[in-house]
Structures are given as C-alpha cells and as structure tokens.
C-alpha cells in the first residue's frame, strides 16, 4: 500500500478539499490527484466521485476512512514504540490534548501534576481537533482532553463542564469595561477569526447566519493561541472562553460576555486499556479542579 496515497486520502476526508490536502502534503493538486487514483486502482474501488473540481466521498470512502486513520496512527507511533523498547525508564503518562485547551488548562495542570508525582514522566501531544481522531483510534494514550463531543463516537468521556463564549479585547480597549457586548457594538473593531476548519469558527458562522449579521474578517489564524496574542497586542477582537485563555495573557485581555449565550463543553477520556490508569485518574482530578476554578464553577 502506498502510504503517501493513504495520507492524501485521509487529508481529503479531514479537510474536505483536494487543494487543502495537497497543501498539507506539500504537493501540487495534480500530483495529489494521481496518488488518489493509484490508491483506487490498487484496490479496484472508487473512493470519490468527481464533480467538476469537487471530490465527493463514496460509501467505500466513508467505510475505509476509520481504517485508514488506524493504519496511519500505528505508523506514526512506530518511532515512539522502538524508543520505548530501548529505554529502561518508567512508562510515561501519555496525554493527548486539543490545541484549544492546551495552554489555558492542560499545561498549568501538568505543572501541578509534576509537583504531586515528581517521579512520573509525561508525554504530551497537542493536536488540532481534526487530527485528534487518529490519535484516539490508535488507543496509544492514557488520557485525552478536548472539547465535546469527542471526534470519535462510542466513547464515554468525563465531563469537565461548559464555558460561555466571550468577546476577547485588549484590556485597555474602550469596550473592555462593558458588562455585555453584541455584534453591533463591535462594528469597526477588527475581527480576528479562527479558520473555517475549526469547530468554533463554524459555530460562530452559524450563529451569525441565524442573526443575519455577517462578520467581516480582518485577520484569520488556525489556532486560538495566535488569536489571543493578536488581541493582546491590540489588533482587534476574537471569541474566547475563560478556560482556554493563556494564563500569561489574562492580565492584558478582557473577556466580556457576548449577548449570544453560546457555550463550549469540555471533557477528558481515559481508555480502559490505559497502562497508567492511576496516574491518568490523578491528572483528571487536577483538570477537574482547575477547570472549575477558571470557569467560575468552583
């Protein structure tokens, strides 16, 4: 099996377009298209219907996608597997975190965990939500923390809670002292948006469509941490929640409640086959305490 073709297939399914998949592989669209065709020829199946410039997944593609993710995840883990075989160190606690919540919650919790269990090594992987499915399906982790629902079905996560989406502005911005803000209040303030592949962006876009009030985007970034830093520098506003905001930026950023009551739910999952179950549960309890404190639930 051609692993490059398999990766392109998975990226097309994740990104929704051949152009984005080719960009992630640093290939031209024509080269990526040829790789997909080779994969289809190898197994004598049709994975996509070609509709002008669009690729529409067939039922074969939908059924093959989870298996492709499993294969790629196992290949990704080979270097770690061999490193671990060659090491006499204690098994690390393997944590997988969604990018959005890493700086605001997971890293501070990790500092507390290290003080509590200094002899326990940790391996932390941080991924965009669209890449988490591959890590989860491979099962080579002890705890996964993410926005809910998890990107893989039939899992039973521990719920941390929900946080209300706020408008993030530089602390010295004239609107930063308001008790609540609506979209009309933000007219003329540059909007720093997450890109359209993120769940949060799609959530906000749907709400703007429902309100028939489109937002004009000035800056667009792929991760919340970048948006918060631009806000901190006074370049505009973004949408954020108190748990995800980086602690080192909190003094320079005001979170003003948005008049639209949109909430984001977070949780963590510990698989039954975890090799470090006690350590994972201890870390989970730290996450629960810190989430409650940052979200105002404690």
Confidence of residue 1 (pLDDT cuts 50, 70, 90): low
d(CA 87, CA 165): 44
Burial (0-12, 13-18, 19+ Cβ within 10 Å), 112: middle
Q: At what angle do helices 59-85 and 129-138 cross, to 10 degrees?
A: 70
Residue 26, strand partner residues: none
**Does residue 271 or residue 194 have the better pLDDT?**
194
Collapsing DSSP to helix, strand or coil, 227 comes out as helix
pLDDT 10s digits, 58-71: 998 899 998 888 88
Residue among 95, 91, 233, 81 at smallest CA distance from 169: 233
Confidence of residue 73 (pLDDT cuts 50, 70, 90): confident
Mean pLDDT within 207-216: 90
**Contact (Cβ atoms closer than 8 angstroms) between residue 248 and residue 228:** no
Give the model's pLDDT for residue 89. 53
Q: All domains of the chain, ordered by start, with CATH?
A: 3-80 (1.10.10.10), 92-160+271-295 (3.40.190.10), 166-261 (3.40.190.10)
d(CA 271, CA 281): 11
H or E segment and range at residue 15: helix 3-15
Enumerate the H helices of 88-128 as residue ranges: 99-101, 107-116
């Amino acid at each position: 099996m051609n692993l490059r073709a398999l990766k392109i297939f998975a990226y097309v399914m994740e990104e929704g377009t051949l152009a984005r998949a080719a960009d992630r592989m640093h290939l031209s669209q024509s080269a990526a298209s040829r790789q997909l065709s080779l994969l289809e020829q190898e197994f004598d199946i049709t994975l996509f219907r070609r509709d002008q410039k669009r690729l529409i997944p067939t039922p074969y593609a939908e059924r093959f996608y989870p298996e492709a993710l499993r294969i790629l995840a196992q290949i990704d883990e080979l270097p770690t597997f061999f490193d671990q075989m060659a090491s006499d160190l204690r098994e690390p606690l393997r944590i997988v975190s969604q990018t959005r919540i890493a700086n605001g919650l997971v890293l501070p919790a990790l500092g507390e965990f290290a003080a509590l269990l200094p002899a326990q090594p940790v391996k932390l992987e941080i991924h965009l939500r669209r890449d988490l499915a591959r890590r989860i399906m491979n099962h080579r982790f002890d705890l996964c923390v993410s926005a809910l629902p998890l990107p893989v079905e039939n899992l039973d996560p521990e719920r941390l809670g929900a946080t209300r989406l706020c408008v993030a502005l530089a602390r010295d911005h004239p609107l930063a002292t308001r008790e609540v803000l609506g979209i009309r209040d933000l007219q003329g303030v540059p909007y720093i948006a997450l890109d359209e592949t993120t769940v949060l962006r799609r959530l906000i876009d749907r709400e703007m469509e429902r309100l028939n009030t489109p937002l004009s985007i000035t800056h667009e970034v792929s991760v919340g941490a970048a948006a918060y830093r631009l806000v901190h520098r006074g370049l505009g506003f973004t949408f954020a929640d108190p748990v995800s905001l980086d602690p080192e930026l909190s003094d320079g950023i005001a979170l003003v409640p948005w008049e639209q009551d949109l909430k984001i739910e977070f949780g963590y999952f510990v698989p039954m086959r975890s090799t470090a179950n006690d350590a994972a549960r201890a870390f989970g309890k730290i996450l629960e305490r810190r989430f409650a404190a940052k979200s105002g639930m404690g």
